Chain A
Amino acid sequence: MLTAVLAIFVLAALAPTVHRMTPSFSHWLLALVPAAITVWFATFLGPVGAGEVVTQSIPWIPTLGVELAFRLDGLSLLFALLITGIGTFIVIYSGGYLHGHEHQGRFYLFIIAFMGAMLGLVLADDIITLFVFWELTSITSFLLIGFNHEDASSRRSAVQALLVTAFGGLALLAGLVLLGIAAGSFTLSGIEASGIDIRAHALYLPILVLILLGAFTKSAQVPFHFWLPNAMDAPTPVSAYLHSATMVKAGVYLLARMNPTLGATEVWTITLAAFGTVTALWGGLMALRSTDLKKVLAYTTLMALGTLVMLVGLGTEYAMKAYAVFLLAHSLYKGALFMGAGSVDHGTGTRDVRELSGLWQKMKITGVFIALAALSMAGLPPFFGFIGKEFMYEGMLQAGTLGLLVVAGMVIANATMLGAAGLVFWKPFTGQPSEAAEHAHEGGPSLWLGPAVLASLGLALGLGAIPHEGLGEGLLGAVATSLKGEAAKVDLYLWHGLTPALGISVVTIALGLGMFLGLGGVKRGLDGLARASRVNVDAAWDHVLAGLNAVAVAVTRATQTGKLRDYMVWTFTGITLMLGGTLLLRDGILLPREMPETSYLGIFMAALMVVGTIGTILAFSRLAAIVSLSVVGLSIAMFFLVYGAPDVGITQLMVETLTVIIIVLVLAKLPAFRKGEDGTGGERARNGAIAVAMGAVTTAILLAVIAVPYELDLTRYFAEQSYVGGYGRNVVNVILVDFRAFDTLGEVTVVAVAGLGVLALLKARMGRTRTGSQAGGDQP
């Protein structure tokens, strides 16, 4: 299985080159690989249908316990076949649809990479690996939605889809990790086998909510649905593949996967049934209202996704079976319809149903297959879609009171499918040819091959041309088994006697016909509904982003003002608070038991420092300030001299003198203090308070440190060794050039670089013509 996934990624990487070398039939070449993989997966139909589960595991990051673990059971096999099978036709279709597009090679790269990611997702057993592929589908989807990249609306839709699914993705990641921690295993099979009942775990609810957020955003459940219709900005093969047949089903897949672990609780059933039904209903109704063929189909996809979520939630035996049947039915007809709609667009240059009628004469082949797929979507016998719908109703009827509520919603939702089917086939293809239909033309075989196969399969499966034994009891049964966590069989039938489900089907069809015939009225009613909905969510999206942006700008403007003084205020406030808080709350305040001995001279010099400091603050000119400051420096030097470190004192004296001379030289070039340069009165008071607080905190720390007995090991060692081992009588010298010579090496480097720096600053002046911003230029 790893080989299959890797082969597709390698194919993706090679695709642009293959396309460059053989531009006219690259799509046929590229389709060979997924076709071969489809066949390979098909060979598993027998064993997996018989209940076998194929596993494979290769260590990936053993330190983290992440494995490339794969598992092929009914659910993953069905998905794998859909992904590679439909993928094959999509690649072929893309060749015809995008023929001659300048970025066709890149398109193949993205869409084939997506195929690999999607395949990995449904095969993964390790939940981290699953998540890796999950996010890869989001990224490839982003790149594909934005494929028409110079179009601003495509870019917006791409970012929107990315963010909505990434939001869910991050929630999902947190949920999966929590699940792994709770279950003590990071593989799906390990979690199922662990015997730990996650439903009874304290973390069940957080895990559930987080995973549902991931699944609902990916599968576009209300209220996260808005990104999906917008994603139709992507080229049609993308819509057909990602946003209908495969990627959006990832959420539905995940829910099915999680059903044995998390399902069958009250909160699970009610949440999924409610969100699913509302989404199905909403999608169905909005489909009727749309005029763009692709949007119609996008909304019917919402309907299907909602239905699948609802079915997982109900969890009854027939609901599980219906999930399997409907999943397959939907992928077949929706893939065909999207590709067909793309061909119509390709042939006429428009997708607006208002401009399309009478296409039948010009596009017979496309018309036939659209008709077949649309009938399956409408849920009419003998198409496979009909069987799916029957099972669906059976499943709901099994679910008691909740089921009845759901039935009410689903009858309307299913009825709208009939209306939508009319919208995508009846309106464009019958009647008088419209202006757009006049010069319509049929596409080549690459454009109709996919719809042909998929739509025919929908009919053939319904009619039973493909043995139901193998499919129903085999694959679909295995899917239901995966969902339930115990063995199940699906006995497919077209006629099952006069059951309540059949009665509901009849009602549905009648209602659907009524809706299509009275479409004008229905639409007007829906328009009102619509104004209160998607449009708003979609518009609210912009407001949310703009709001976030405004917050970001406001916060950043308020802090990163571009003024050094403000930064100093923030920095010192932060330092004072952190240190002061620690002192107070962690018992840091400590006074020496006996104050160190003081002399009048010491007190005098300390007083001198205070005077110097105050003088610096109050100075009316730069020169006065620097002179006051030098008083402080000299007092410190005197301190050293008096208290037994004359060499340090002398050094300090020289440095101090030199500094003052240099600063005075520089000052001569600077303008005098401007009035108000040091802030308003309030600011000065604030700064003064911060300074005093900072000083107080520093003093408190110093006193506390002095209170702790002093260790003299190093001093003693240096004194003993300096002559014996270092051959020097001056201990300080030996420390500098021997004991800690390495520090001196570093300091010499500092001085050397400083020298270079002065030279460079004085000499290397870049052209000042570059438009540098003014001082304070770092403010946003």
Chain B
Amino acid sequence: MSAWLVVSPILVPLATAALCALAWGRVPLQRIISLAGSVTLFVCGALLLAHVGANGITAAQMSDWPAPFGITLVADHLAAVMVLIAAVMAVAVAIYAFGDIAPERERFGFHPVFQTLMVGVCGSFITGDLFNLYVWFEVMLISSFMLLALGGTREQIDGAIKYAALNLIATASFLMAVALLYGLTGTLNMADLALRLREVEQTGVVTTVAVLFIIAFGMKAAVFPLFFWLPASYHTPAIPVQAIFAGLLTKVGVYALLRTFTLIFVGDTAWTHGLMLWIAGLTMLAGVLGSLAVTDLRRAFSWQVVAHIGYMIMGLALYTPLAIAGAVFYLVHDIVVKTNLFLGAGLARRLTGHDDLRSMGGLFKATPLLAVVMFVPLASLAGFPPLSGFWSKLVLLQASLEKEAYVIAAVSLIVGLLTMWLVGRIWAELFWKAHPVADPQGTAAIAPGTRFALVAPLVLLSAMTVAIGLFAEPVMQVAAAAATELMDPAPYIEAVLGKGEPPPTAVVGLEPAEVRP
């Protein structure tokens, strides 16, 4: 049974996509199927996390070929929590789409492709095979490209072309890296790779291939200097598409880095993780500067997506149990907040009639409800306590100070301050300032059904952000458990291959109490 549970994050959205495609031409039916599929995915994610919590890392061998010969799917704490949080976003965005997506887009396959996107995302989280990861990346890429171009406005096509061209470089790098790694080790199973790579004597070659993976995944994650595709494209598609992209896509890149650079490439951390620390700092700075340079709300948020990727990479690059736990917590927090911000920006545009902060305003007066539900993600973005963003930044700050990495600590704080400035500015312009032309209508002016579809996801996600902030312990426990598993890959390898060899690089396990001295 557990194998079915492990494979469910792929099967459920795939089946949903197929059913939606079968209901081609019947949009209302597609909507119901899509939402039901997302909810089912959420249930599966919750069950999976509970299962991993109770039984530890669970592997499933596809077609029942033993690892490393077939394809193995693996659920550990990290994979399970990512599936769960992704499913919540799918539900939120599916509901929002009821109120926002244009009929043309729905008629031409928004729902099935949205679900195949989830297939790619969840498949990436759950797979234990490097080439299989590549396949899910491809599913994700083609689905995202299709969603990006769907609707075909000039602005969209421009963004989509840049997105596709630059992402194909990432895909090619990834494929090349997989091939090279196969050449070095003769295997594709990640657990097997972890073992075999330690036996390769030519460590310089391994490090070079590792850097190629940093490039491939880093480009997906939109890190410096490989992020150009993101600000070029993220603000162009329909709001629900923007939201799901901002929430999930780059995080899959971060996830892949987290996975491979704790399990497989840990032979030369001084170089690989040192390089990532530089990348992290520069990504934060480039992202926050970009967000300050634009006046379009959605573009500012797009740049913030870049900036905050830097923090997660920072956690990985510091490579201590506390830092990794911080990165995992950050992932969960950031997915919720970014999705929420883009959904909120969409609603703000609907009410004020604009995307540009200079032409927006008056929402504090017009719609206190939106002010409250937007205040939460904005404040969390800026890292104000006691919201989720604060804890993630606190953990990373502490991890960097403990490791005496003062420069990155300072950079993370400065970027935090600049983000506060951005948030203060957005608040003043969007909410406080009177609308330059006429008072905007409140949410009350929207038809009731649509209003519910638009507002409910915002309320849900804001409530999550508050809950993760006030009751951070459960999420922090999962993050710490995930960090323990990542820092000590032996149980993972054993779960996949069935044989446990103690890794030569002894890693100190993370006791919950040891996270903070």
Which of A's residues lie within 8 Å of B, judged by CB?
Answer: 59-66, 102, 106, 128, 131-132, 135-136, 138-139, 142, 146, 149-150, 152, 155, 158-159, 162-163, 166-167, 170-171, 173-174, 177-178, 180-181, 184, 186, 545, 548-549, 551-553, 555-557, 559-560, 562, 564, 566-568, 570-575, 578-579, 582-583, 585-590, 698, 701-702, 704-708, 710-715, 717-718, 721, 725, 738-743, 745-747, 749-750, 752-754, 756-757, 759-761, 763-766, 768, 770, 772-778, 780
Contact = CB atoms under 8 A, between A and B. Distances in A.
Which 7 A-B pairs have CB atoms at the shortest separation, nearest pair first? Answer: A711-B186, A772-B155, A587-B204, A149-B432, A746-B135, A567-B228, A760-B108
Which of B183, B211, B219, B397 has its CB near the most chain A CB atoms (within 10 A)? B211
A65 B208 contact: no
A706 B104 contact: no
Contacts of A63: 325, 473, 476-477, 480, 512, 515
B501 interface: no
Interface stretch (B30-38, B61-69, B247-255, B485-493): B61-69
Contacts of B63: 738-739, 741-742
A750 B212 CA distance: 24
B473 A61 contact: yes
Given A60-B473, A159-B428, A778 B232 contact: yes
Q: Is the interface of A mostly helix, strand, loop or mixed?
A: helix
Nearest to A550: B293
Given A552-B290, A749-B139, A578 B214 contact: yes
Contact of B142 (A585, A739, A753): A753
B204 A778 contact: no
Interface residues on B, range: 35 or more
A265 B315 CA distance: 36
B413 A174 contact: yes
B203 to A, nearest CB: 7
Contacts of A166: 417, 420
Contacts of A766: 102, 104-105, 151-153
A64 B108 CA distance: 49
B98 to A, nearest CB: 19
14 contacts: A64-B515, A139-B379, A150-B434, A158-B424, A170-B416, A586-B203, A586-B208, A711-B187, A714-B187, A742-B62, A742-B135, A753-B143, A756-B109, A780-B293
Interface string B339-382: 00000000000000000000000001100100000000001000
B113 interface: yes
A206 to B, nearest CB: 8
Interface stretch (B51-59, B385-393, B456-464): B385-393
Nearest to A738: B63
Contact of A177 (B132, B152, B401): B401
A95 B116 CA distance: 56
B403 to A, nearest CB: 11
A163 B473 CA distance: 29
Contacts of A738: 63, 65
A146 B417 contact: no
Contacts of A708: 183-184, 200, 202, 205
A615 B279 CA distance: 37
B230 to A, nearest CB: 9
B413 A62 contact: no
Nearest to B432: A149
A555 B293 contact: yes
Contacts of B139: 746, 749-750, 753
B327 to A, nearest CB: 15
Which of A61, A150, A572, A759 has its CB near the most chain B CB atoms (within 10 A)? A61
B495 interface: no
A746 B421 contact: no
Contacts of B512: 62-63
A749 B113 CA distance: 10
A567 B219 CA distance: 12
Nearest to B325: A63
Nearest to A173: B397
Contacts of B368: 106
Interface of B: 14, 17, 21, 62-63, 65, 68-71, 102, 104-105, 107-109, 112-113, 116, 119, 123, 131-132, 135-136, 138-139, 142-143, 145-146, 149-156, 158-159, 161-162, 165-166, 169, 173, 176, 180, 183-188, 196, 200, 202-205, 207-209, 211-212, 214-215, 219, 225-226, 228-229, 231-233, 235, 268, 271, 275, 286, 289-290, 292-295, 299, 303, 325, 364-365, 368, 379, 384-386, 390-391, 394-395, 397-398, 401-402, 409-410, 413, 416-418, 420-421, 424-425, 428, 431-434, 472-473, 476-477, 480, 512-513, 515-517
Contacts of A705: 180, 183-184, 205, 209
Nearest to B64: A725
Contacts, number: 356
A746 B136 contact: yes
A742 B71 contact: yes
B113 A756 contact: yes
A586 B204 contact: yes
A552 B289 contact: yes
Contact of B275 (A552, A578, A780): A578
A104 to B, nearest CB: 13
B49 to A, nearest CB: 17
Contacts of A768: 153-154
A761 B390 contact: no
Contacts of A759: 108-109
B434 to A, nearest CB: 5
A59 B480 CA distance: 17
A739 B70 contact: yes
Given A564-B165, A707-B202, 10 more contacts: A135-B384, A135-B390, A567-B166, A570-B228, A571-B169, A583-B208, A589-B204, A742-B63, A749-B116, A760-B150
A582 B208 contact: yes
Contacts of B228: 559-560, 566-567, 570-571
B384 A159 contact: no
Given A746-B135, A759-B108, A174 B409 contact: yes
B393 to A, nearest CB: 9
A459 to B, nearest CB: 41
Contact of B515 (A65, A549, A745): A65
Contacts of B401: 174, 177-178, 181
A136 B382 CA distance: 13
B155 A702 contact: no
A773 to B, nearest CB: 6
B285 to A, nearest CB: 9
A589 B232 CA distance: 36
A756 B416 contact: no
Contact of B146 (A150, A171, A715, A757): A757
B433 A746 contact: no
Contacts of A780: 290, 293-295, 299
B516 A575 contact: no
Contact of B232 (A567, A587, A763): A567
B502 to A, nearest CB: 22
Contact of B211 (A573, A582, A742, A777): A582
A560 B207 CA distance: 30
A571 B132 contact: no
A725 B512 CA distance: 46
B364 A149 contact: yes
A136 B153 contact: no
Contact of A61 (B70, B150, B200, B472): B472
A128 B394 contact: yes
A64 B413 contact: no
A557 B70 CA distance: 48
A567 B113 contact: no
A552 B418 CA distance: 11
B70 A740 contact: yes
A557 B62 contact: no
Contact of B162 (A173, A575, A750, A778): A778
A715 B187 CA distance: 10
A764 B289 contact: no
Given A759-B108, A763-B108, A770-B153, A579 B212 contact: yes
